[in-house]
Amino acid sequence: MTDYRKNEIKQLLSVSLCEKQDSYLIQELFQNFPTTSELLDASEQQLIRLKGIGTRRAQQIMALFRLTKVLSIPSYEDHYTIQSPKDVQYLLAPELRHLTKEHFICLFLNTKNRLIFKETISVGSLNAAIVHPREVFRAAIKHCSASFICIHNHPSGDPTPSQEDIQITKRLYEVGEIVGIDLLDHIIIGDNSYYSLKEHGHM
């Protein structure tokens, strides 16, 4: 967490909780949750364990973090059109970059590459999102998609694909050719960076 980001969050917390920025409570939060992702993903039970935080205060803090997440996610309503991997990064990076587990998401598009629906297909572990082609294509058919884009995050922050990432991409591409619903790209979101498997010749 950068000093600038830390100061911003301290200001928000101090105002919301009516505490000074250097108060014991604020210091405890940052000592127990040193990174942005750990802080934003803190559970009510984890917060209550800290001295000075009861149920009401923990709920206050969690409500603030949920609001922060919601406001940071761009709206993809009104027929958002995907024209490049950068559009995907803009759309999903705010939602994915702080997660501590891999989330495998599909954007289902119409014939003009306009977004029909966004669906989380699976949630994996710290470094693996388990997904099967049948789950992806069941959702693609349900939403009457002409094509789709797969996205998942790497909690490590490094978007470089694993061998498993490359293999599942090839499988999805091959099944898409048979079914007639094209896989346009598979994009991995890291920390302020992304990796397009299509741009790098993996499909």
When pLDDT is cut at 50, 70 and 90, the band that residue 175 belongs to is very high
pTM recorded for the entire structure: 0.65
Higher-scoring residue by pLDDT: 57, 2: 57
Residue 154 has pLDDT above 60, yes or no: yes
Query: Phi and psi (nearest 5°) for 112?
Result: -105, 20
Task: Give the largest CA-CA distance in the chain.
Answer: 61
What local confidence, expressed as pLDDT, does residue 14 receive? 79
Residue 160 has pLDDT above 70, yes or no: yes
Segment 10-33 mean pLDDT: 81
Q: What is the mean pLDDT of the chain?
A: 85
CA distance 93 to 187: 11
Segment 77-82 mean pLDDT: 70
What local confidence, expressed as pLDDT, does residue 64 receive? 80
When pLDDT is cut at 50, 70 and 90, the band that residue 4 belongs to is low
Q: Choose the weakest-confidence range: 5-14, 71-80, 81-90.
A: 71-80
Burial of 31 (0-12, 13-18, 19+ CB in 10 A): exposed
Higher-scoring residue by pLDDT: 175, 30: 175
Q: Choose the weakest-confidence range: 16-25, 153-162, 185-194.
A: 16-25
**What are the chain's domains?**
3-72 (1.10.150), 85-196 (3.40.140.10)
Task: Render pLDDT for 82-124 as a digit per residue (tens, 0 to 9).
Answer: 999 999 998 898 888 778 889 999 999 999 999 999 999 999 8
What local confidence, expressed as pLDDT, does residue 6 receive? 64
When pLDDT is cut at 50, 70 and 90, the band that residue 53 belongs to is confident
